[in-house]
Amino acid sequence: VGDPGKLSSLARKSDSKTEALVRWVKENLFAAGKLRDDERLIIFTEYKETLFFLEQRLLEEGFDRNTLRLLYGGMDLDKFEAVKSEFEDPTAAVRLLLATDAASEGINMQESCRWIVHYDIPWSPSKLQQRNGRVSRHGQVRDVSVHYFRCDEEEDMNFLFYVAQKVEQVRQDLGSVERIFDAAIQRHFKGEKTPVQQISSLVDAEIDRSPEKTELGQATAADLADLTRRARELLEGTESRLRISPQALMEILRTAIAVEGQGSLEEITGRPGFYRLKPPPRWEGLARQTLTVGSGFNKMELVFDSALVEEEVGGRRVLRMKKHQILLRLGHPIMRQAMATLCRQLHDPTAHDPINRWSLAALHRTGFDALLVFYYTVTAINELREPLHDEVCSRVFRIVGERLEPVGHDFEQGVLGSEFHSVKSPGRRDDWVKALRGRWFSHRGGLESFLKDQETSLRSILQARADAARKRETEAASESYEYRIKELQDRSREQEIEKLARQLVREQAEVERYALLPDVREEIRVRQERLNEQMELLRQDVERTRELLTGEQDQRLKVVLPKRFQLREVRVLPLALTYLVPATAEDLQ
């Protein structure tokens, strides 16, 4: 801005539109003369000159350069990102954002803001929708308010105000009617006025004919509460069954780092549950891609427990992470890398700090002297050399001298569902390790026999399951191909052609309906030509599709499915084992 003094002078002479904006801002963003902590506002304008003008005017009304920020095209990229991050941060001082359309795409502000004012209304309906979408999107928990200016003495302003209202009304179907808005706006500003009632009728009629129109209904509060409850129960049940917990996730990552031999995962001092990662050298590229905040990945805070980054908003618990925080779940690339490291170590134990295949733990339970929990993998490979089945299994044995005896099902489930504790006493731990090592060779022989028996019994069980699955898949595939071929025989493509022909008739009628909108008439003429081309292509496509379907059916039913569901081999391999001994009071502390 070349002359700030000139802008200040203009600001003092601002018009009634600006004064109306100032009054609204003071009524809604201020309480007892001070800025509110719980509200923020975005004011959009198309022009940078207007942006700077409004900045000068609002700086005279209780704002400063910390509480009022600007976003516009041509800003320094780092400054642009800094302002955007500030406005998205609920702890930042900023309360009002003045923005051009540079801020109308790719920026999400629904967590900190629910108010938008359009100081001027853009000619493009899609641009208007993009602006509103900054706050009216998934994650917004409050009612959104969007404000426009209108003036009885300004015909252009009133016309655009009407368009904005109509765009908001039909926002779910905007794609099918945007051309009508565009044509009407262009005609209006060329001096060729179109009555707003006619525009409204054309828009409503187009939406009624739109093939995408669907009635989804609206869920009640009770329905949403029930769906939320069921989703949470499903999540908690799955996590319990698979033993997924924040502690387990943290230990997976920490163990994988230990196997890599370098790197660390350290809890942040004074902030339980928040960690910082120093990745192993092999992971640094991945860490830069997925964990970078600011100038590096060493500033990112890792969280495994979602409860630590949830807040109560509007009576609901919602996730509210800072820009420098990330919730790590099993699907995150870093966790997938950690699991890949552990899986590789199971089959190639040559790492700097290899995984121990066996461990000693204490169990707080009665009715046993010592137990062995044996973990093993079952992998079924088909004739296509694909893994048809892959599973980690576990079995609990009671240690009876040199022998291993399987325990009953109920007792086994109780053991597997219990927490395993460390044996705290070094002396007691050493005594147990010495005793169990002396019996290991006998136990090893028993486990090898168990694996051979499992391989034999599981092969027949898994082949029976594969046969049943092949039957279901074959029946479903046969039905699908028969239906698709029958579609061709029953003139399905011809019906499409007839549908296109009927559409051509409607398009011809629309030519007359849109007599006042030449641009739309030309668009319809082009669409008519394309419809004729489509009809010819569909006719040519019928025979070719029938031939392809018949060949594909033979290949899938006679070659692919038989090989996919025929077992080539079943591999049952040892994974790990844990010796369990009775827990003492010291172990439970």
Q: Give the pLDDT mean for 305-310.
A: 88
Higher pLDDT, 269 or 492: 269
Mean pLDDT of the chain: 79
Q: Which of 78-82, 162-166, 250-254 has the highest mean pLDDT?
A: 250-254
Dihedral sign from CA coordinates of 186, 192, 196, 197: negative
Higher pLDDT, 103 or 571: 571
Q: Give the pLDDT mean for 414-418.
A: 88
Res 239: pLDDT:
83
User: What is the band of 220 on the pLDDT scale with cuts at 50, 70, 90?
Assistant: confident
End-to-end CA distance of the chain: 68
Half-sphere exposure of 493 (CA within 13 A, CB side): 18
Indicate the SS3 state at residue 180. helix
Res 173: pLDDT:
44
Q: Give the pLDDT mean for 569-575.
A: 90
pLDDT single digits (tens) 447-461: 999 999 999 999 999
The least confident of 75-84, 279-288, 301-310 is 75-84
Res 249: pLDDT:
92
Q: What span, in angstroms and rounded, lies between the C-alpha atoms of 81 and 71?
A: 9
Strands 264-267 and 274-278: antiparallel
Q: Where does residue 561 fall: left (phi above 0), alpha (psi -120 to 50 degrees), or beta otherwise?
A: alpha
For domain 4-149, give the fold: Rossmann fold (3.40.50)
Higher pLDDT, 57 or 5: 57
Res 6: pLDDT:
54
The least confident of 26-40, 117-131, 249-263, 346-360 is 346-360
The least confident of 65-74, 81-90, 118-127 is 118-127
User: What is the band of 211 on the pLDDT scale with cuts at 50, 70, 90?
Assistant: very low
Indicate the SS3 state at residue 514. coil
Query: What percentage of the chain carries pLDDT values higher than 90?
Result: 27
pLDDT single digits (tens) 493-542: 556 656 666 666 666 665 555 555 566 666 666 776 777 777 677 777 77
Q: What angle do CA 122, 151, 159 make, to 5 degrees?
A: 45
Higher pLDDT, 278 or 106: 278
Q: What span, in angstroms and rounded, lies between the C-alpha atoms of 303 and 321?
A: 10
Residue 403 — φ and ψ, nearest 5°?
A: -100, 160
Q: Is the pLDDT of residue 422 over 80?
A: yes
Q: What span, in angstroms and rounded, lies between the C-alpha atoms of 565 and 464?
A: 10
* DSSP code for 145: E
Q: Residue 346: in which H helix or E strand, if any?
A: helix 333-347
Q: Is the pLDDT of residue 205 over 80?
A: no
pLDDT single digits (tens) 72-90: 888 888 888 888 888 877 7
H helices of 400-557, in order, are 409-416, 426-489, 492-513, 518-555
* DSSP code for 516: T
Q: What span, in angstroms and rounded, lies between the C-alpha atoms of 589 and 587?
A: 6
Q: Which of 95-99, 225-229, 495-499, 505-509 has the highest mean pLDDT?
A: 95-99
Tell me the domain boundaries of the chain: 4-149, 224-347, 358-467+569-582, 469-567
Assigned token pair, 436: 């169990």
User: What is the band of 259 on the pLDDT scale with cuts at 50, 70, 90?
Assistant: confident
The least confident of 33-42, 55-64, 172-181 is 172-181
pLDDT single digits (tens) 139-149: 666 777 888 77
